[in-house]
């Protein structure tokens, strides 16, 4: 009898606890996977605010570094267990693969609702990175598939104090390539390092080369090259490759730049050992953390030609996508609408020194960040070109430029090698 009573008591306790647990679970939970270590604390704070406001719990789960995050997302996509909200790190073609596999929700109806209020709150270039236009080469149904959280531009920064030390005007950074090259001997004589950047990681080399390609031959010719209509052995491309040789010969590049990782480059610039850095607008937060007294300004890469304007990579920095298979997609959309609203974007910009994606939140940002934001006028990005270069060609181009920088190959040799790979890839595509 006593045993039966004990069992009954346990049953009642578990039933009560079970019911109370069920009641707590009624609150929706939106899970977000991200890789942004610098924004983790700010995201947690915003999640708390949203829970108080909307009664929806938002779990921001951080997976860093970004390489590990990219692998995790791919693995989750293969296992069809992506979270409600996630980001894709990669090129537009990777983005397209996720959409084609049905992992990403088309946000166009939400963006266009209420006279496109949400859509119009963003910088158009930030949104363009997440957009697939009609007749895009990826075969994706036209639409907007991602929400930009911030914007970025990748350009040059220069140390104002070191500029004065070199006898240069800190308010007039070099505008032309010739002016830039002439600083090389002065840097060498002063025992300083010139341009630092993460060129060991290669994608930044690609970015730098792309800037000069746009400047020397214009967007149309660059895109024609990607389409296979212009050869990489074209004189304009030789000029692009030659820029690297000129930079190397002038001594304006830091020693060991070709194997430098961006973290080291950031340390060198923040510690005032390097005069120039080629970096993204995220560096404002990084430099602030490393040396809050650093005096520097942002500038466009010096123009090699007056024929076309200098272009830099820019647009959406980080974007979030919504899992099309998620049961919480409506909640996820509502959360992203809230996260990208003016106040939340201003909060993120203020606490993390990143440029907000919402164009109404640009007030109260530091001057150097404002300089980066002005670079948006010159911004372009491979993700908005509507066509992607073959990966082996990009690899050959990056490797070739590294070879030029170490004096192993001439610009002409590199151009010929890149074109050879390009022809091979075009032939493969024709067969397929």
| Spatial contact of 221 and 158, defined as CB atoms under 8 Å apart | no
Phi-psi region of 280 (alpha: psi -120 to 50; beta: other; left: phi over 0): beta
Beta carbon nearer to another protein, 77 or 217: 77
Q: Looking at residues 49 to 68 of the shown chain, list those that interact with another protein (rule: CB under 8 A).
A: 67
CA–CA dist 212, 237 (Å, integer): 9
Q: Minimum distance between the CB of residue 63 and another protein, rounded to whole angstroms?
A: 15
- E strand or H helix at 10, and its extent? helix 2-25
Beta carbon nearer to another protein, 94 or 106: 94
141 binds another protein (CB under 8 A): no
Considering only 406, 412, 427, 429, the residue that binds another protein (CB under 8 A) is 406
429 binds another protein (CB under 8 A): no
Q: Looking at residues 254 to 283 of the shown chain, list those that interact with another protein (rule: CB under 8 A).
A: 254-261, 264, 267-268, 273
Stretch that binds another protein, among 48-56, 69-77, 212-220, 239-247 (CB under 8 A): 69-77
CA–CA dist 275, 284 (Å, integer): 16
Beta carbon nearer to another protein, 217 or 405: 405
Q: Minimum distance between the CB of residue 100 and another protein, rounded to whole angstroms?
A: 6
| The two structure tokens encoding residue 235 | 């004189």
Nearest C-alpha neighbor of 411 from the set 257, 251, 195, 246: 246
Considering only 403, 410, 416, 423, the residue that binds another protein (CB under 8 A) is 403
Nearest C-alpha neighbor of 165 from the set 189, 136, 182: 189
Angle between helices 177-189 and 235-250 (to 10 degrees): 20
Residue 59 pairs in a beta bridge with 31
Beta carbon nearer to another protein, 144 or 258: 258
Considering only 408, 412, 427, 429, the residue that binds another protein (CB under 8 A) is 408
Q: Minimum distance between the CB of residue 190 and another protein, rounded to whole angstroms?
A: 15
Radius of gyration over alpha carbons of the chain, in Å?
Answer: 25
Q: Looking at residues 193 to 232 of the shown chain, list those that interact with another protein (rule: CB under 8 A).
A: 193, 198, 200-202
Nearest C-alpha neighbor of 198 from the set 264, 246, 153, 248: 264
Tell me the three state secondary structure of residue 390: coil
402 binds another protein (CB under 8 A): yes
93 binds another protein (CB under 8 A): yes
Residue 371: DSSP 8-state: H
Q: Minimum distance between the CB of residue 261 and another protein, rounded to whole angstroms?
A: 4
Considering only 15, 117, 176, 391, the residue that binds another protein (CB under 8 A) is 391
Nearest C-alpha neighbor of 197 from the set 251, 289, 266, 246: 266
- In angstroms, the Cα distances linking 406 to 34, 156, 259 are 37, 22, 10
322 binds another protein (CB under 8 A): no
Binding residues for another protein, rule: CB under 8 A, are: 67, 70-71, 74, 77-78, 90, 93-94, 97-98, 100-101, 103, 193, 198, 200-202, 254-261, 264, 267-268, 273, 391-392, 395, 399-400, 402-403, 406, 408
């Amino acid at each position: 009898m006593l045993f039966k009573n004990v069992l009954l008591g346990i049953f009642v306790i578990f039933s009560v606890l079970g019911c109370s647990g069920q009641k707590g679970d009624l609150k929706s939970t939106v899970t977000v996977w991200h890789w942004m270590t610098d924004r983790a604390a700010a995201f947690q704070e915003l999640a708390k605010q949203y829970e108080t406001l909307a009664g929806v719990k938002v779990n921001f789960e951080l997976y860093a570094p970004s390489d590990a995050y990219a692998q995790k997302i791919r693995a989750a996509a293969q296992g069809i267990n992506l979270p409600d909200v996630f980001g894709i790190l990669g090129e537009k073609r990777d983005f397209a693969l996720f959409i084609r596999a049905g992992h990403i929700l088309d946000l166009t109806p939400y963006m266009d609702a209420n006279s496109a209020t949400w859509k119009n709150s963003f910088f158009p270039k930030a949104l363009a990175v997440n957009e697939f236009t009609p007749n895009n080469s990826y075969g994706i149904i036209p639409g907007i598939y991602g929400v930009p959280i911030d914007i970025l531009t990748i350009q040059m920064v220069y140390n104002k104090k070191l500029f004065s030390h070199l006898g240069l005007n800190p308010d007039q950074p070099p505008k032309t390539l010739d002016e830039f090259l002439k600083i090389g001997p002065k840097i060498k004589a002063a025992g300083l390092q010139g341009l630092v950047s993460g060129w060991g990681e290669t994608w930044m080399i690609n970015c730098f080369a792309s800037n000069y390609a746009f400047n020397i031959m214009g967007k149309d010719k660059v895109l024609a090259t990607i389409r296979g209509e212009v050869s990489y052995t074209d004189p304009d491309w030789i000029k692009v490759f030659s820029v690297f040789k000129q930079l190397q010969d002038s001594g304006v590049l830091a020693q060991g730049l070709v194997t430098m990782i961006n973290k080291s480059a950031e340390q060198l610039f923040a510690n005032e050992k390097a005069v120039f850095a080629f970096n993204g607008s995220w560096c404002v937060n990084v430099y602030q953390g490393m040396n809050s007294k650093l005096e520097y300004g942002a500038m466009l890469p010096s123009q090699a030609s007056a024929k076309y304007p200098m272009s830099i990579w820019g647009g959406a920095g980080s974007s979030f996508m919504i899992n099309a298979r998620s049961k919480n997609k409506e909640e996820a959309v509502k959360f992203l609408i809230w996260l990208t609203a003016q106040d939340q974007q201003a909060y993120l910009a203020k606490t993390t020194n990143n440029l907000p994606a919402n164009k109404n939140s640009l007030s109260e940002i530091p001057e150097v960040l404002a300089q980066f934001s002005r670079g948006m006028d010159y911004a372009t990005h491979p993700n908005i070109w509507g066509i992607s270069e073959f990966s082996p060609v990009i690899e050959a181009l990056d490797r070739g430029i590294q070879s030029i920088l170490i004096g192993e190959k001439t610009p002409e040799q590199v151009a010929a090698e890149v074109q050879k790979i390009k022809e091979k890839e075009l032939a493969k595509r024709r067969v397929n």
